[in-house]
């Protein structure tokens, strides 16, 4: 039985419900088929984008310059900002177009002998500089989009640098734990030999094995953190599965501390400040657009009128001007003026916030630099020497394993503290980079090894 037969055979009271049920079934089947065909397309698109990003990524050593280049070229956030610039270009094109003329045809009376036919062409003419104001506003909107793209590029660049430094620190941390594991295994072997020789208690060997197991656990955690750090870095160019095996950079090279004079000079041309200034200019242009709307436009009319009873054509010429009696666009103009004032207030707030944030970050950089230098020059060498001396003394039977284990923990803690402080120093500098749009000497903080 067909669908039409089912509908015809239904009772009058159930017929609408039956129709809705059948339509519901058909619609559900259509949506299910659409979902089944669209989901693989979306997934295939995402996989294709990830594969394209992965192919552009180096397989082995990744430098900071290469990571920044990949992020700036393939970051989805920056791609969206570039689309906004393209949309602003289209807005400029649309704003430059003139209004279309209008053709009107009228026929009076249905009888042919007394019918009057009128054909006219209405040509609107914009007054008050509306077209120029629209183009200027669209141009200001494009400038604001360009400033937004620049600010986002700096944020992505700074975030990529911070993620790069995290990978460097994770690599150093993993290498430290591996070296510690080698020393722990060496200490366990020495303890086993000394127990065999009857020079120490078997308890000392058990302690050495337990310490070795603890280092192995720390190595597992460090390797996991390194993998996560690599994924966070590669996510900036849209690759969830990084191909690079390591990042190449110098972690022991101290960056130069920018002076207050450099910071103040860079604040004046900060991209974040430029973005706020462009927003003020855009709001000013929108005020001009609303002001031009207070001037009424003129419409010229040119046409022909034909009366069948007199068989004669008449030329029609007309002019229409709206009278701004009630609606003078005063509400939209007032709104535009208030939004311009808001943009100026936001510009002033941005200046104060940038200056305060820059000084706070500069103080944080100074403190982190002093901490890192202290750890690098004083604490770390002493802890390393004590650990090596305790290990040699343990081999010669002059120290107990507890002393070796204590020296090992001290050295491990000092090295970890040093890497944490160094990573915090780099991240603070990248924060300053995102505010100022570049700091002299910052590229040397993690220069690639040749």
Compute the chain's Rg from CA coordinates.
Answer: 37
Answer whether 138's CB lies under 8 Å from 91's CB.
Answer: yes
Closest CA to 18 of 32, 31, 4, 29: 4
Q: DSSP string of 263-327?
A: HHHHHTT-HHHHHHHHHHHHHHHHHHHHHHTTSPPEEEEEEEEEETTTTEEEEEEEEE----SS-
Q: Residue 272 is part of which domain span?
A: 56-444
Whether residues 203 and 282 share a domain: the answer is yes
Instruction: Compute φ and ψ for 301, nearest 5 degrees.
Output: -120, 130
- Parallel, antiparallel or unpaired: strands 61-62 and 246-247: parallel
Answer whether 409's CB lies under 8 Å from 176's CB.
Answer: no
Whether residues 38 and 184 share a domain: the answer is no
* Residue 3 exposed, middle or buried by CB count within 10 Å (0-12, 13-18, 19+): exposed
Instruction: Compute φ and ψ for 64, nearest 5 degrees.
Output: -65, -35
Q: What kind and span of H or E run contains 107?
A: strand 102-108
Whether residues 90 and 17 share a domain: the answer is no
Whether residues 363 and 421 share a domain: the answer is yes
Query: Tokens standing for 42?
Result: 């979306």
Instruction: With respect to residue 449, please indicate whether it lies within any of the assigned structural domains.
Output: no
Whether residues 21 and 146 share a domain: the answer is no
Running DSSP on this structure, what letter comes out for residue 98?
P
> Considering its fold, how many domains does the chain have in total?
2
Whether residues 16 and 63 share a domain: the answer is no
pLDDT in tens, the chain (450 residues): 443 443 344 444 444 444 444 434 434 444 444 444 444 443 344 445 545 555 567 777 898 889 999 999 999 889 999 999 999 999 999 999 999 999 999 988 877 777 888 999 999 999 999 999 999 999 999 999 999 998 899 889 888 988 998 898 889 889 888 887 887 787 788 778 878 877 777 887 787 788 888 889 989 999 999 999 999 999 999 888 888 888 987 666 666 777 778 888 888 888 889 889 999 999 999 999 999 999 999 999 999 988 877 767 889 999 999 998 999 999 999 999 999 999 999 999 999 999 999 889 888 888 888 888 888 888 888 888 888 888 788 777 777 666 777 887 788 888 888 888 888 888 888 888 888 875 444 443 333 333
Q: DSSP string of 160-178?
A: HHHHHHHHHHHHHHHHHHH
Report the distance separating Cα 37 and Cα 187, nearest Å.
Answer: 62
Whether residues 296 and 394 share a domain: the answer is yes
* Residue 208 exposed, middle or buried by CB count within 10 Å (0-12, 13-18, 19+): buried
Q: Which residues pair with 307 in a beta bridge?
A: 116, 312
């Amino acid at each position: 039985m067909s669908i039409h037969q089912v509908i015809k055979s239904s009772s009058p009271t159930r017929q609408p419900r039956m129709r809705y049920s059948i339509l519901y079934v058909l619609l559900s089947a259509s949506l299910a088929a659409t979902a089944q065909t669209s989901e693989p397309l979306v997934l295939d698109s995402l996989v294709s984008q990830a594969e394209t990003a992965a192919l552009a990524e180096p397989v082995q050593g990744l430098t900071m310059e290469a990571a920044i280049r990949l992020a700036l070229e393939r970051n989805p956030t920056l791609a969206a900002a570039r689309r906004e610039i393209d949309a602003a270009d289209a807005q400029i094109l649309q704003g430059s177009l003139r209004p279309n003329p209008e053709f009107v045809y009228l026929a009076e009376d249905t009888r042919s002998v007394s019918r009057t036919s009128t054909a006219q062409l209405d040509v609107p003419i914009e007054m008050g500089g509306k077209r120029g104001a629209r183009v200027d506003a669209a141009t200001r909107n494009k400038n604001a989009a360009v400033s937004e793209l620049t600010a986002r590029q700096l944020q992505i660049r700074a975030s990529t640098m911070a993620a790069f430094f995290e990978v460097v620190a994770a690599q150093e941390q993993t290498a430290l734990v591996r070296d510690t594991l080698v020393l722990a295994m060496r200490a366990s072997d020495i303890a086993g030999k000394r127990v065999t020789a009857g020079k120490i208690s078997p308890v000392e060997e058990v302690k050495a094995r337990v310490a070795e197991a603890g280092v192995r656990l720390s190595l597992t955690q460090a390797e996991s953190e390194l993998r996560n750090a690599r994924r966070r870095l590669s996510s900036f160019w849209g690759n969830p599965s990084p191909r690079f095996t390591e990042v190449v950079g110098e972690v022991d090279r101290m960056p130069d501390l920018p002076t207050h004079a450099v910071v103040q000079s860079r604040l004046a041309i900060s991209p974040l400040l430029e973005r706020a200034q462009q927003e003020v200019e855009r709001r000013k242009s929108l005020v001009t657009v609303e002001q031009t709307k207070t001037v009424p436009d003129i419409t010229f009319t040119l046409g022909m009128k034909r009366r069948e009873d007199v068989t004669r054509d008449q030329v029609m010429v007309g002019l229409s001007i709206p009278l701004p009696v009630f609606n003078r666009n005063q509400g939209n103009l007032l709104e535009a003026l208030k939004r311009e004032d808001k943009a100026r207030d936001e510009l002033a707030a941005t200046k104060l916030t940038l200056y305060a944030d820059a000084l706070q970050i500069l103080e944080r950089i100074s403190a982190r630099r002093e901490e890192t230098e202290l750890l690098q020059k004083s604490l770390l060498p002493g802890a390393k020497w004590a650990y090596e001396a305790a290990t040699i003394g343990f081999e010669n039977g002059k120290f107990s394993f507890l002393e070796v284990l204590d020296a090992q923990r001290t050295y491990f803690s000092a090295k970890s503290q040093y890497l944490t402080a160094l990573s915090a120093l780099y991240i603070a500098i990248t924060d300053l980079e995102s505010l100022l749009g570049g700091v002299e000497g910052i590229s040397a903080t993690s220069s690639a090894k040749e």
